[in-house]
Amino acid sequence: MADKSLPAELPASQVEDERIVVSTKYVKCDGGGGPLGHPVSWMDMGEENHVVCKYCDREFVLAASAEAHTGTQANTSMLEK
């Protein structure tokens, strides 16, 4: 018999994706590392101030303090969610 006091698992569409603030526009994602991760993926933000990993949907957002180093203005509205 199932324990009804435990919360039901949320569908993937209702789980908030992980957001990571970074200081460079070139980032690496391995899905959290270890055997439960995914192949290493290197991503370049290009003209944008964020990029999303195609494997795990982690979002990497350029920190506002990094704009002086990149010559672009960071989109801080991405951090307000």
Mean pLDDT of the chain: 73
Query: Considering only 5-9, 31-35, 50-54, 69-73, which range has the smallest mean pLDDT?
Result: 5-9
Report the candidate in 32, 57, 60, 58 with the shortest Cα–Cα distance to residue 46. Answer: 60
- CATH superfamily placement of domain 17-71: q5lls5 like domains (2.60.260.40)
Residue pointed to by tokens 């933000």: 45
C-alpha to C-alpha distance for 1 and 3, rounded to whole angstroms: 7
Query: Considering only 16-20, 69-73, 77-81, which range has the smallest mean pLDDT?
Result: 77-81
